[in-house]
């Protein structure tokens, strides 16, 4: 009991000091420096062209238009967030499904069928795995180069471009590995689509 009585005020005081130091000072210093050094990144990497916003560079969206590049499978969430006027906002979540169940097998079969129907030029080749799986965040903004190449004939037909033009756009939006080693090669789906729509210059 004696130890307890003595230690309690000391513990409370040191807790207060650390709350100020780690909660307030540390957070404020990082916020201040980030805003100064990296204003674009620290504020969410939002794409702006001529003062108009076109999506967030880091968040995936859902595309179903034949003339657009499609991304990962998304489990959309339209009930968690609303804007000030109560209008629904789009967000997404991961599926958390086991890839070893019978239900999953049926789900993938359905997705493969749908993709093949939408890409008749590719109906004999295997579907790249990125196009029939959900991502970890549910908001993956990328697909693999293989998944982009699979869609080239469809996009070319629907957008009235040659396949080479579409490939050029995809290549422009492809990012290599960090230092050529870490992570994977990715195609940025939103940027490809903004270029296909002529909003970003190809």
Partner 1 sequence: MNAVIQYILYLGILILLAIPLGGYIKKVMAGEKTFLSRILTPCENAVYKVMHIDSGEQMNWKKYAVSVLIFSGIGLVFLFLLQLLQGVLPGNPQGLPGVKWDLSLNTAISFITNTNWQAYSGESTLSYLTQALGLTVQNFVSAATGIAVLFALIRGFVKVKTDGLGSFWVDITRIVIHILIPLNLVIALALAGGGVIQNLKGGQTVPLLEPVAVNAEGEIIENAVIDVETNTVTVFGKAVEDADIVTEQFVPMGPAASQVAIKQSGTNGGGYMGVNSAHPLENPNAFTNLIEMISLLLIPAALCFTFGRCVKNKRQGVALFMAMFLCLVVALGCVAVREQIATPQLIQDGAVDVSAVDQAGGNMEGKETRFGIAASSTWAVYTTAASNGSVNSMHDSFTPLGGMVPMLLMQLGEVIFGGTGCGLYGMLAFAILTVFIAGLMVGRTPEFLGKKIEPYEMKWATLVCLATPIAILVGSGIAAVFPGIEASLNNAGAHGFSEILYAFSSAGGNNGSAFAGFNGNTVFLNLSLGLVMLFVRFLPIVGTLAIAGSLARKKLVAVSAGTLSTQNPMFVFLLIFIVLLVGALSFFPSLALGPIAEFLSSIG
Of 82, 182, 72, 90, whose CA–CA distance to 137 is shortest? 72
Residues in the chain: 202
Closer by beta carbon to partner 1, 145 or else 153: 145
The minimum distance between CB 29 and partner 1, in angstroms, equals: 7
Closer by beta carbon to partner 1, 14 or else 164: 14
Q: Residue 129: which region, alpha, beta or left (left: phi > 0; alpha: psi -120 to 50)?
A: alpha
Closer by beta carbon to partner 1, 72 or else 161: 72
The minimum distance between CB 102 and partner 1, in angstroms, equals: 7
Closer by beta carbon to partner 1, 160 or else 179: 179
| Burial class of residue 166, CB neighbours in 10 A (0-12, 13-18, 19+) | buried
The minimum distance between CB 160 and partner 1, in angstroms, equals: 18
In the structure encoding, which two tokens stand for residue 49, read together? 């062209």
- Among positive and negative, which fits the CA dihedral 84, 57, 92, 107? positive
The minimum distance between CB 189 and partner 1, in angstroms, equals: 9
Closer by beta carbon to partner 1, 22 or else 162: 22
Which strands sit side by side in the sheet containing 174-175, from one edge to the other? 142-143, 186-188, 174-175
The minimum distance between CB 164 and partner 1, in angstroms, equals: 18
Angle at 97 between CA 109 and CA 148, to 5 degrees: 55
């Amino acid at each position: 009991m004696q130890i307890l009585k003595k230690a309690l005020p000391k513990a409370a005081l040191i807790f207060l000091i650390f709350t100020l130091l780690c909660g307030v000072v540390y957070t404020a210093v990082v916020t201040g420096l980030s805003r100064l050094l990296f204003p674009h990144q620290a504020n969410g990497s939002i794409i702006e062209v001529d003062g108009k916003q076109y999506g967030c560079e880091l968040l995936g969206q859902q595309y179903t238009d034949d003339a657009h590049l499609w991304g990962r499978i998304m489990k959309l969430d339209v009930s968690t967030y609303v804007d000030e006027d109560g209008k629904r906002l789009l967000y997404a979540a991961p599926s958390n499904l086991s890839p070893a169940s019978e239900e999953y097998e049926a789900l993938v079969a359905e997705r493969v069928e749908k993709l093949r129907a939408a890409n008749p030029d590719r109906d004999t080749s295997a579907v790249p795995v990125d196009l029939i799986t959900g991502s970890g965040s549910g908001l993956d903004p990328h697909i693999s180069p293989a998944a982009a190449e699979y869609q080239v004939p469809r996009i070319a037909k629907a957008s009235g471009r040659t396949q080479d033009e579409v490939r050029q756009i995809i290549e422009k939006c492809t990012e290599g590995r960090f230092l050529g080693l870490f992570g994977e090669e990715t195609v940025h789906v939103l940027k490809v689509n903004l270029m296909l729509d002529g909003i970003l210059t190809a």
